[in-house]
Amino acid sequence: MSDSESKTLVIRNGTLIDGSGAAAAANTAVVIQGNRISSVGELPGGVNLEDADKVDVIDATGQWIMPGLIDGHCHLSFGMPAVQGYASARGTVNPGFSAIRAAKNAQTILRSGVTSVSIPGGTWFIEVGLRDAINAGLIEGPRIYTAGRFIITYGSIADSEPSWVGAPEHTYGVLANNVTDMITEVRRQTKHGVDFIKLADSTWGDTQTIAKEEISAVVEEAHRRNARISIHSRGAGSTKAAAEAGVDWIMHADLATEAELYAVAEAGVRIMPTMTFLFEALEVGKEKGRSDAELDIIKRNADNAVTVLQTARSLGVQVMSGTDTGNSPVMPYGVLHAHEAEVMVKFGGYTPLEAITASTKDNAYSVGMEGELGVIESGKLADLLILDADPLEDIRVLQGGKHLNAIIKDGRRVDLSVQPEEDTLLALR
């Protein structure tokens, strides 16, 4: 253990937004020992701020302290444009290249204030290896909770990539057109160390390609193997079937009606609308000359997603925050990870404090660490941000890391003097 790791870290005089939903508290001290928070509030007796050999002090006067952001929906090993070196918009045939790019993406994400990410799908098992490398201290990056490739059927959202030729490893979906194949894939992925399973059902339209009985079988097998399960579901029928089958959370659900969301509420299933992707796809699509028909579909889905958010909230459905960053060239890393909070405030009727809670405490579930992350209180893991602007006054200050004075992950400060170079491949705007 290095000297810095053995020291007590004290953050004092800042305004605390603890992530629990409680009101902000001025002139608060946060004390960190090792990788955990040891006290919050008044500076405890016995901490000698003058003992530089044992204590590091951050004076956060005029600054705001909050939990590290958690992006509940982020992809790392695909999401690049189809340029030289890339096989498609979502992958490359070179696993080594993809792994190195994923590591770079992870570093960019961390320095934007995102200390944990949930990754619902990638290529090969790159994110599993990256997770383990970060945990081992080999490279820097956020905490990673990851699925493997999407499990799909003919007609599912990812069927356009593997199509009828099968499903080569560098694609982001694996075809499984019956229960036996689906269960086999769950076993294969859990053998390789994934944290959760992702089913991918409906496309942009109100479709259902995976039967409720098939979803139920996958849920049972995943849970038997101590893995959670999420599902990409836009369609109304798909959303209802997924809720009744007992998935752990539903991504998108942007074409669900109140009836389906009532079923979600009754089942106690969480949803993650990922409105950021829809709004960005709409804006960038206009700039890039997408057809009126394409833009109309995206606009309809974006409007529906806002309605879903509002309706789900009124029904008591637990809503988590995710951006779908890295899903396409319109979703660059390091820029949009807090945008979902802005959308929640601007369109969903959330207060900035509620949006922050959704992006921290509530999102801890998406990385399998509820009760450990997302709240600044004694005993919790020490993932914190210090900002020079008040996110309760303007939620947009969380975006892009521009107002970050410090990032603390696992009790250690991230060196903000080392910034990844701008990714010109994804800088489309």
Is the pLDDT score of 74 beyond 90? yes
Report d(CA 244, CA 260) in Å as an integer. Answer: 10
Q: Please write the tens of the pLDDT for every residue from 121-137.
A: 988 899 999 999 999 99
Helix 95-110 and helix 126-135: axis angle, to 10°?
50
Tokens 């910034």 correspond to 419
Beta partners for 30?
11, 40
- Give the pLDDT of residue 88: 47
Tokens of 187: 């076993």
Tokens of 41: 């509030």
Is the pLDDT score of 425 beyond 90? no
Contact present, 422 and 81 (Cβ < 8 Å): no
Report d(CA 201, CA 180) in Å as an integer. Answer: 17
List phi, psi (to 5°) of 187.
-65, -40
Report d(CA 147, CA 78) in Å as an integer. Answer: 13
Is the pLDDT score of 217 beyond 90? yes
Residues 6+ apart with CB under 8 A from 101: 77, 80, 92
Contact present, 385 and 407 (Cβ < 8 Å): yes
**Other Cβ atoms closer than 10 A to 296:** 12
- Threshold 0.95, pTM exceeds: no
Report d(CA 302, CA 106) in Å as an integer. Answer: 27
Is the pLDDT score of 94 beyond 90? no
Report d(CA 172, CA 150) in Å as an integer. Answer: 6
- Give the pLDDT of residue 205: 79
- Give the pLDDT of residue 86: 35
Is the pLDDT score of 256 beyond 50? yes
Report d(CA 12, CA 47) in Å as an integer. Answer: 12
Task: Lowest mean pLDDT of 226-240, 247-261, 281-295, 383-397, name the range.
Answer: 281-295
Strand 249-252 and strand 270-272: the pairing is parallel
Report d(CA 122, CA 105) in Å as an integer. Answer: 13
List phi, psi (to 5°) of 146.
-130, 145
Beta partners for 91?
88
Tokens of 9: 């870290």
Tokens of 247: 């998935």
Cβ-count burial 244-283 (b if 16+ within 10 Å, e if not): bbebbbbbbbbbbeeebbbbbbebebbbbbbbbbbbbbbe
Contact present, 281 and 298 (Cβ < 8 Å): yes
Question: Shortest CA distance to 65 belongs to which of 352, 348, 293, 406?
Answer: 406
Name the pLDDT band for 172 (thresholds 50, 70, 90): confident
Question: Shortest CA distance to 39 belongs to which of 377, 411, 374?
Answer: 377
Name the pLDDT band for 428 (thresholds 50, 70, 90): very low
Contact present, 268 and 246 (Cβ < 8 Å): no
Name the pLDDT band for 178 (thresholds 50, 70, 90): very high
Is the pLDDT score of 226 beyond 80? yes
Contact present, 146 and 127 (Cβ < 8 Å): yes
Name the pLDDT band for 385 (thresholds 50, 70, 90): very high
**Domains contained in the chain, CATH given:** 3-67+374-413 (2.30.40.10), 69-337 (3.20.20.140)
Question: Shortest CA distance to 137 belongs to which of 348, 341, 412, 352?
Answer: 412
Contact present, 304 and 53 (Cβ < 8 Å): no
Is the pLDDT score of 354 beyond 70? yes
- Give the pLDDT of residue 83: 35
- CB-based burial of residue 226 (10 Å sphere; 0-12 exposed, 13-18 middle, 19+ buried)? exposed
Report d(CA 404, CA 397) in Å as an integer. Answer: 9
Q: Kindly state the average pLDDT of the residues 38-42.
A: 94
**Other Cβ atoms closer than 10 A to 41:** 14
